[in-house]
Amino acid sequence: MSSAVFAIHAKPGRTTALALSWFLFAAGVGLYFYASAARHRENPEDRVTPTLTQMARGMYDAVLHPAEDDEPLAEGASWIETVRHSMLWKDTRATGIRFFASLALLLPAVLVGLHMGLFPYIGAFLLRFVLFFDKIIALSLLPILFIAFGIDELSKIILIVIGVTPTIILDTFNISRAVPGEQVVKAFTLGASDFDVAYRVVLKQIWPRVLNSIRLNLKAIMLFLFAGEMIASTDGLAYRIALLRRHMGMDVIIPYVLWVALLLFLVDFGMRWMNRKLHPWFHEA
């Protein structure tokens, strides 16, 4: 029986697959609350592993109360106004704006990589520079960015673009070079121009893999964003986590970390769903 479970051709049923997919989540949650209960039995004032009640209370305050440095909301405000004035909404909105602005600025990198892969002169001009620039540790440039651009939004977004753009360019370059040359030759024989081949043949073909590459870099984007927010910011999810760390506010830090993971999971899910709808022929994890 055990050998059949680990066989290459073994296929779990729907119920078994669902149970297996949630097993590690359940085990992790159970292990945490077991450790939390043990620590609280030894020290009822323990703040390192808050209980479920403490985290629920902390998240409730984050969702329905403004940050300490914000003005209190007027009495009689609606539930929607209360949430929109809350600490969690303010931090999520600030981080979300920076995240999606940086994501949009990565799209030109796709065109750069496409042209490098298809046009030899552009490839010869840019490839060595991009390969070198890709080896620069983006976080080492953070002090320079703060000095040059200040500590406002621009420096944080530039940090993300510098950190992730070379990877997207090189991925697109390699994917473009992998397109069979026969397809390019056939397009030319049918009367296509250079840019027809680039945008109507190659780009359409590689776009799902490029989108998948951007999706796999979502955590890197958030990593650079968190670095910028923790060092110099007055709002944002990472700023709040760094601020609460000083007060050992684990009852809010842990829900915030899970909230960030959930948001990234939803963005990842949305990109995978869009890729499947736009390119049903594409299958990749």
Residues 113 and 250 in one domain: yes
Residues in the chain: 285
Three-class secondary structure of residue 234 per DSSP: coil
Q: Are 175 and 216 in contact (CB under 8 A)?
A: no
Residues 147 and 237 in one domain: yes
Residues 171 and 35 in one domain: no
Residues 30 and 127 in one domain: no
Q: Please state, in angstroms and rounded to a whole number, the distance separating the CA atoms of residues 125 and 173.
A: 13
Q: Quick check: is 136 in a domain?
A: yes
Looking at residue 231, its amino acid is I
Look at phi and psi of residue 236 and say left if phi exceeds 0, alpha if psi is from -120 to 50, else beta: left
Report the 10 Å Cβ neighbour count for 233: 24
Which residue is associated with the tokens 């796999």? Answer: 216
Residues 221 and 268 in one domain: yes
Residues 140 and 248 in one domain: yes
Structural domain count, the chain: 2
* Domain harbouring 202, CATH code: 1.10.3720.10
Q: Quick check: is 59 in a domain?
A: no
Q: Quick check: is 70 in a domain?
A: no
Q: What is the dihedral of CA 272, 277, 280, 285, to 10 degrees?
A: 10
Q: Quick check: is 258 in a domain?
A: yes
Residues 105 and 28 in one domain: no
* pTM of structure: 0.85
Residues 43 and 103 in one domain: no
Q: Quick check: is 251 in a domain?
A: yes
Residues 38 and 137 in one domain: no
**What does the pLDDT profile of the chain (285 residues) look like in tens digits?**
455 777 778 888 889 999 999 999 999 999 999 999 999 999 988 888 999 999 999 999 888 888 766 667 666 667 788 878 888 999 999 999 999 999 998 899 999 999 999 999 999 999 999 999 999 888 888 888 888 888 778 888 888 889 999 999 999 999 999 988 888 888 888 888 988 999 988 998 999 999 999 999 999 999 999 988 888 788 889 999 998 888 888 989 999 999 999 999 999 999 999 988 888 887 765
Residues 45 and 184 in one domain: no
Residues 129 and 224 in one domain: yes
Note down the domain range covering 24: 13-49
The answer for residues whose C-beta is within 8 angstroms of residue 66's C-beta and 6 or more apart is 72, 73, 85, 86, 87, 90
Residues 123 and 232 in one domain: yes
Q: Quick check: is 63 in a domain?
A: no
